């Protein structure tokens, strides 16, 4: 599952960035950080890994401050085009890949299990592969719970998001065929 999460960039340099996130990021995990220089320009995307997390008080609520180390060098010229807002922050995005397995699927959503926790409300893309094709489904996490399974301790109920017509080869399309039967040809 590929998750995209908005973050506040508190500091950025050629080797490190500090971001404010609602939940602790797994230490050592590799992520993609998108940094926007201007609204009409493509973002700078850099590969980072999580060095540390600490709880901070941010606008009256407890949040996490994550220190990220750049895995690849900063773009040519660094980030001198990046200007932090007057409040000292700017918005960026973290892209995270989380392994999941599909436990159940219906026409409205699916149940996933994962070794990592995913926040309720998170939006992501579940990629499924078979021997003959690959498909991607946009989903929103509606509920999460913990299980007793050591390898897959988190279970999530995900709602399918409609971003276009449903392909019969997609996870949702296969669930539809299974619930109503395959169309008959005459």
Question: Using one digit for the tens of pLDDT, what is the confidence trace for 71-112?
Answer: 976 666 555 545 555 455 688 999 999 999 999 988 899 999
Choose among 109, 97, 18: nearest CA to 64: 18
Question: How much of the chain exceeds pLDDT 70, in percent?
Answer: 84
The pLDDT, as a whole number, for residue 79 is 58
Mind listing the domains of the chain with CATH numbers? Answer: 2-97 (2.40.30), 101-180 (2.40.10.220)
The pLDDT, as a whole number, for residue 67 is 97
Question: Using one digit for the tens of pLDDT, what is the confidence trace for 123-151?
Answer: 999 988 777 778 888 999 999 999 999 99
Question: Using one digit for the tens of pLDDT, what is the confidence trace for 3-46?
Answer: 988 899 988 888 899 999 888 888 999 999 998 766 777 888 89
pTM: 0.70
């Amino acid at each position: 599952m590929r998750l995209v999460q908005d973050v506040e960039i508190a500091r950025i340099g050629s080797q490190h960035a500090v971001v404010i996130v609602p939940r602790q990021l797994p230490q050592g995990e590799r992520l993609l950080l998108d940094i926007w220089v201007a609204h009409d320009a493509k973002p700078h995307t850099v590969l980072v890994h999580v060095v540390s997390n600490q709880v901070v008080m941010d606008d009256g609520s407890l949040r996490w401050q994550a220190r990220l180390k750049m895995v690849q060098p900063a773009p040519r010229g660094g980030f001198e085009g990046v200007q932090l807002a007057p409040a000292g922050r700017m918005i960026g995005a973290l892209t995270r890949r989380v392994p999941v397995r599909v436990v159940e699927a219906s026409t409205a959503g699916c149940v996933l299990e994962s070794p990592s926790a995913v926040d309720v409300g998170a939006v992501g893309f579940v990629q499924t592969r078979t021997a003959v094709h690959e498909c991607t489904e946009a989903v929103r996490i509606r509920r999460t719970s913990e299980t007793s399974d050591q390898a897959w301790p988190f279970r999530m109920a995900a709602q399918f998001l409609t971003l276009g017509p449903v392909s019969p080869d997609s996870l949702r399309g296969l669930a539809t065929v299974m619930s109503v039967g395959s169309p008959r040809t005459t």
